[in-house]
A and B are shown apart, each in its own frame.
Chain A
């Protein structure tokens, strides 16, 4: 039984997750937008990685499973950047879009 898979280890990770949860909730209290974004999403990424590596045992799983899952996330990033120029700037750079009211 490796040290990574004892009950104690899981409880420690859980404690860390709860601590990070509290930090992310307190982030907006500072009022600085960049800090909020970092605490909210940066911490989310860290929490997700902690759960994936320790609870799902990706830290001892075959490497290609990790690559497979990461590829799916990369595809989502690709989708974001492929669609962003159209969805986030529908009027383009050269004219103002006034024909439809945006709520």
Chain B
């Protein structure tokens, strides 16, 4: 028996569409999750000056490439949204997959980066700095993976001209993931 969407979902007393409103609330909860982790990191980092000797070993090149990738993928997803507004779901499909490839590229760079670091002995138990490094970047990477999966599902829908409004929603989520990285980048790679 197929699922019938309730009429509740289509109402909009606020003027904001239900799906978009829900994603804003998801972002609200994610800000405090990442915020809690990053506040903890900043508290410790400011106290532990000596972490700079560990932090010197993070790869600025890998971090910069990944920042570039995520910023560009953010562009692609908003262009995908633009395409939906222009009533061109096939173009939107294309841009959505550019975004997905960006996300996959990010994960590939991160895997190479982490493999290098782990084989050189920079593991979670080596220093609390590395524990934070892997936890924060790892939590972020999990969100990248979740975003990629959801984008792929939405892309197949929009190819059939269904649920076009969801491109904007996953776009907002993806921009949030990008913004988290925008803060992780200086914390872990520049001002270390």
Which of B36, B48, B75 has the most chain A CB within a 10 Å cutoff?
A: B75
Residues 31-71 of A contacting B (Cβ, < 8 Å)? 36-37, 39-41, 43-44, 47-48, 51-52, 54-56, 61-62, 65, 68-69
> What mask results when residues 37 to 50 of chain B are scored 1 for a CB within 8 Å of chain A, else 0?
01100111011101
Q: Kindly identify which residue among A41, A61, A72 contacts B28, using a CB–CB cutoff of 8 Å.
A: A72
- Across the interface, do B68 and A72 meet the contact criterion of CB distance under 8 Å? no
Which of B14, B179, B182 has the most chain A CB within a 10 Å cutoff?
A: B182
Chain B interface residue count, CB cutoff 8 Å, equals 46
Nearest-Cβ distance from residue A27 to partner chain B, whole angstroms: 7
Chain A interface residue count, CB cutoff 8 Å, equals 46
Task: Give A residues with C-beta under 8 Å from B.
Answer: 1, 5-7, 10-11, 13-14, 17-18, 21, 24-25, 27-28, 36-37, 39-41, 43-44, 47-48, 51-52, 54-56, 61-62, 65, 68-69, 72-73, 75-76, 79-80, 83-84, 87-88, 102-103
Task: Give B residues with C-beta under 8 Å from A.
Answer: 14-16, 24, 27-28, 31-32, 35-36, 38-39, 42-44, 46-48, 50, 60, 64, 67-68, 71-72, 74-75, 77-79, 82, 85, 127-128, 171-172, 175-176, 178-179, 182-183, 185-186, 190-191
A-B contact pairs, 24 of them (CB 8 A): A13-B75, A21-B71, A24-B185, A40-B191, A41-B186, A44-B183, A44-B186, A47-B182, A51-B74, A51-B178, A55-B75, A62-B14, A62-B15, A65-B24, A68-B28, A72-B35, A75-B32, A76-B31, A76-B32, A76-B38, A83-B43, A87-B44, A103-B50, A103-B128
